[in-house]
Amino acid sequence: MPSRLHQKALESLGTRIVDGVLPAGHIMLAEDLESELGVSRSVVREAVRVLQSAGLVQSTKRVGIKVLPRPTWNPYDPLVIRWRLRSSGRGAQLRSLTEMRVAVEPMAAELAADHAPEWVGEQLHDIANKMRATGQDARRFQQLDVRFHAVVLAGSGNEMFAGLHDAVAEVLTGRQEMGLIPAHPHEEAIELHLDVAEAIALRRPAEARETMNEIMRATIDEIHQEWAGTPRSDAGF
């Protein structure tokens, strides 16, 4: 519902930058962008402001709008994540997100077991049971999976952990769209989810952490091939 033109301009510029079509150091002029995108100054300027807040560009007087190098991009900006998952940088983004999950989700489970209100454990139990009941429908299974991990992240009571939930969702849905998930969800994975739910409900932090850790290990095994060839970013210093 929000402004269509603004989003269109934003999307056009953002995807081209993330795809590398507009490389770091490339300089654009606001006036050219107007005619190129077929929109007015105000639209271009607002889009550029948003890109600037995401660290993708920097606009300076007398020179123009410069595309910044990747290390300055905000890797947590939802727009940047979406664009990268649909670009050639997909492998690197997927690996980054998965490593983040591996680091965070076990601790989130531990914290949830420590501090989360009771209904979190109940809800997790509920979701895990539905996952078991959902036999064939891979799509439904994956929706439940997304929800399960979102509840754990939110249940940790840590806002930054909770804030990862849409990124995690995009990873999981993206995985399925590429047919990377086995049609038959592992029986073992389901059991692990049930175990996590129970550990959180019964307030057993160490057990929750370790079980979630096993889920993460399985996740890595499933997705590992995806980024097999992608090089690690050589963080400039």
Partner DNA sequence: GAGTACTAATGTCTGCACAGATCGGCGTCA
Partner DNA sequence: TGACGCCGATCTGTGCAGACATTAGTACTC
Partner that binds at residue 43, options its own copies, DNA, none, CB closer than 5 to 8 Å by kind = DNA
* Candidate list 99, 122, 137, 188; residue touching its own copies; CB under 8 A: 99
Partner that binds at residue 29, options its own copies, DNA, none, CB closer than 5 to 8 Å by kind = DNA
> What does the DSSP assignment read for 58-87?
EEETTTEEEEPPGGGS-TT-HHHHHHHHTS
CA distance 192 to 208: 10
22 vs 5, 18, 69, 122, CA distance in Å?
Answer: 21, 8, 11, 49
State the angle between helix axes of 78-85 and 90-115 in degrees (0 to 180), rounded to the nearest 10: 130
Asked if 95 is part of the footprint of its own copies (rule: CB under 8 A), the reply reads yes
CA distance 228 to 175: 15
CA distance 181 to 117: 32
Partner that binds at residue 35, options DNA, its own copies, none, CB closer than 5 to 8 Å by kind = none
Of 20 and 64, which has the nearer Cβ to DNA?
64
CA distance 22 to 14: 9
Asked if 35 is part of the footprint of DNA (rule: CB under 7 A), the reply reads no
Which parts of this chain interact with its own copies (CB under 8 A)? 1-2, 6, 42, 45-46, 49-50, 53-54, 58-60, 70-71, 74-79, 92-93, 95-97, 99-100, 102-104, 106-108, 111, 115, 117, 123, 151, 154-163, 232-235, 237
Which parts of this chain interact with DNA (CB under 7 A)? 1-6, 28-31, 38-43, 45-46, 48, 59-65
